[in-house]
Chain A
Amino acid sequence: MSRRVALEASHAVTEATRMADVDVISAYPITPQTHIPERLAEMVADGELSAAYIPVESEHSAMSACLGAAAIGARTFTATAGQGLELMHEVVYIASSMRYPVVMAVCNRALSAPLSVWGDHSDAMAVRDTGWIQIFCQNSQEAFDLTLWAFRVGEDPKVLFPVMVHLDGFTLSHVTEPVILPEQSEVNRFLPKFQYPFALNPDKPMTHGAFGPPEIYSETKLAQEVAFRNSKEVILRGWKEFGDIFGRYYHPVEEYKTENAKTLLLTMGSFSETAKIVIDKKRDKGEAVGLISLRLWRPFPFEELRQAVENAEILIVFDRCISSGGPGGPVFSEVRSALYDEKERPKIVSFIGGLGGRDMPQKDFEYVIDHGREIAEKRSEELFETVGVRGEVTGIRG
């Protein structure tokens, strides 16, 4: 029997990691991810989890230790946030290129300076192109479910890529919500034992991390890219299998009240839940609005996005990150590019807000939808709009 318990999202992640019977954890504590490595260290010390816990002096070392563990075929987990993700940056690329299916929870945090421990998506966007499968969670249940799913997908012999599970710092990581925890037997049915086909073994010597001279570098990277895009099939199958066992189904693009919606708001992460309340209110007033949330960020869900917006006239993309000197918010930029070749596509508007822990109450999402609709209709020349920022920002032109 599954049980319904109150869990902080960070502890939903650690419960999933415990039930996945992870072999090796190496992590360095950083706000707002701290509760994850702390709880896992407790579990290992108390004998609730039989795993090697490797304390390290930095995030760079944490990820490096994870690679070593994954290389011998260990199920491996780490977690970080903000500056920590930046510090491990070079090793983040190496994990995906060497095809080590490490699972990492990232409690999304703004990047310094000014120093901020609070949430936004700047850290996630800075690792956009690192070759990790990346998904965003909206609540504690998803933090549990998607962490479990991350092991299943990343370790699939057809995939062998690391997976990043993004959950918003504080507004999700520190929030306690009811979470349905499954039986261990159900987890075992969903998640087979990890069998890494290239595990280092003294009986059969091989080289991991060899040079890629100019004669083979391009071909090696293209092979990685093709394999990465092909992982989509297993990503979808993983969600289907998850739903069939646990009863909760996930999709690359989550749609909320999108039937006959002329205006769509696009969000990522926990703020989607606030946006849903605003959509409910506007629907009650008879407005044809809906919400789409990008759950799968990499590989980008082109097909699902096209289908989700095909009947919309206006698409408002809400970013929690600035692409400095760029064409708008980073998610907006990708979404617009993904839809560029469509014969009929919605007018797309970029909004930036929720930076460095700035709250986005319902009234701000109402403003984003109302004002977004206005500027889409009059075709504003501004590259992006801001919300919840004191003082009007104008004159940002292409």
Chain B
Amino acid sequence: MADELTWRDMEVGNIVTEPGSASFRRTGDWRSQRPVLDKEKCNKCGLCWLYCPEPAFKLLEDGYYEPDLFYCKGCGICAEVCTREAITMTEEEEK
């Protein structure tokens, strides 16, 4: 997207004239570890959703929370704050 634009396409002063454009930016490719949820242990308390700085967690219809891997940078805060040890950070290459 951005890497197709030439200098002629740049906004004056790098001003962003439409709000919300940061949501188009994939930050998930910074990640080396991903959070994996064990639903057996999860009690749907929402601490992961509350603490995620991105914020990448979203609430699903069944009451569980799931990280959006388009944004999740793999910082591991969710796994750290989970009182039930329901989230495990897993190396990306292990899948």
- Contact surface of A with B, Cβ cutoff 8 Å: 97-100, 160, 197-198, 205-210, 212-213, 215-216, 218-220, 222-224, 226-227
Interface size of B by Cβ–Cβ distance < 8 Å?
Answer: 17
A98, B13: Cβ atoms under 8 Å? yes
A216 near B13 with CB under 8 A, answer no
C-beta contact mask, B15-49 vs A, less than 8 Å → 1, else 0?
Answer: 11111010000000000000000000000000000
Q: Are B19 and A206 in contact (CB under 8 A)?
A: yes
CB of B60 closer than 8 Å to a CB of A: no
User: Is A99 a contact of B2 with CB atoms below 8 Å?
Assistant: no
Q: How far is the CB of A350 from chain B (nearest CB, A)?
A: 36
B1, closest chain A residue (CB): A215
Interface residues of B (CB under 8 A from A): 2-3, 5-10, 12-19, 21
A sample of 6 more A-B contacts (CB under 8 A), given A206-B18, A207-B21, A216-B14, is: A198-B17, A207-B15, A210-B14, A216-B5, A222-B7, A224-B13
Question: Considering the chains assembled together, what is the distance between the CA atoms of A210 and B10 in angstroms?
Answer: 13
B16–A219 touching, CB < 8 Å: no
The answer to whether B13 touches A99 (Cβ under 8 A) is: yes
- Minimum CB–CB distance for A314 against chain B, Å: 41
Which of chain A's residues have a CB closer than 8 A to the CB of B2?
A: 213, 215-216
Minimum distance in angstroms from B23 CB to a CB of chain A: 13
B7 touches A208 (CB 8 A): no
Find out whether the CB atom of B16 lies under 8 angstroms from the CB atom of A206.
yes
In the complex, which of the residues B8, B9, B13, B17 has the most CB atoms of chain A within 10 Å of its own CB atom? Answer: B13
- With most chain A CB atoms within 10 A of its CB, the pick from B8, B12, B17, B19 is B12
In the complex, chain B residues whose CB is within 8 Å of the CB of A98? 13-15
- Asked whether A99 lies within 8 Å of B5 as measured between CB atoms, the reply is no
* Centre residue among B6, B10, B18, B19 by max chain A CB count within 10 A: B10
Q: Are the CB atoms of A198 and B7 closer together than 8 Å?
A: no
Contact, CB under 8 Å: B19 / A219: no
In the complex, what residue of chain A is closest to B10 when comparing beta carbons? A223
Of all chain A residues, which has the CB nearest B8?
A: A223
Q: How far is the CA of A97 from the CA of B16 in the complex (A)?
A: 14
State the Cβ distance, B40 to closest chain A Cβ, in Å.
40
Residue of B with least CB distance to A200: B15
Kindly provide the distance from the CB of B18 to the nearest chain A CB, expressed in whole angstroms: 7
CB distance from B3 to the nearest CB of A (A): 5
Q: List 8 A-B contacts (CB under 8 A).
A: A99-B12, A99-B15, A198-B17, A206-B15, A207-B15, A215-B3, A216-B5, A222-B7
- Whether B12 contacts A219 by the Cβ 8 Å rule is no
Question: How far apart sit A131 and B14, CA to CA, in the bound complex (Å)?
Answer: 15
Contact B17 A219, beta carbon cutoff 8 Å: no
Bound state CA distance, A237 and B49, in angstroms? 58
Inside 8 A of B15's CB, which chain A residues have their CB?
Answer: 98-99, 198, 206-208, 210
In the complex, how many angstroms separate the beta carbon of A73 from the nearest chain B beta carbon? Answer: 13
A100, B14: Cα distance in complex, Å: 12
Residues of B within 8 A of A210 (CB): 14-16
Cα–Cα distance between A359 and B9 once the two chains are bound (Å): 50
Contact B8 A206 (CB under 8 A): no
> How far is the CB of B21 from the nearest CB of chain A, in Å?
8
Query: Which of chain A's residues have a CB closer than 8 A to the CB of B16?
Result: 206-207, 210
CA distance A219 to B6 in the complex (A): 6
Decide if B13 touches A160 in the complex (CB within 8 Å). yes
Alpha-carbon separation in the docked complex, A219 to B16 (Å): 15
| Given A205-B19, A206-B19, A215-B2; A97-B7 close (CB under 8 Å) | no
Contacts of B9 in A (CB 8 A): 219
- Determine whether the beta carbon of B18 is less than 8 Å from that of A97: no
Distance of A342 Cα from B3 Cα, bound (Å) = 39
Residues of B within 8 Å of A223, CB to CB, are 7-8, 10, 12
Known A206-B19, A215-B3, A220-B7: A227·B12 in contact at CB below 8 Å:
yes
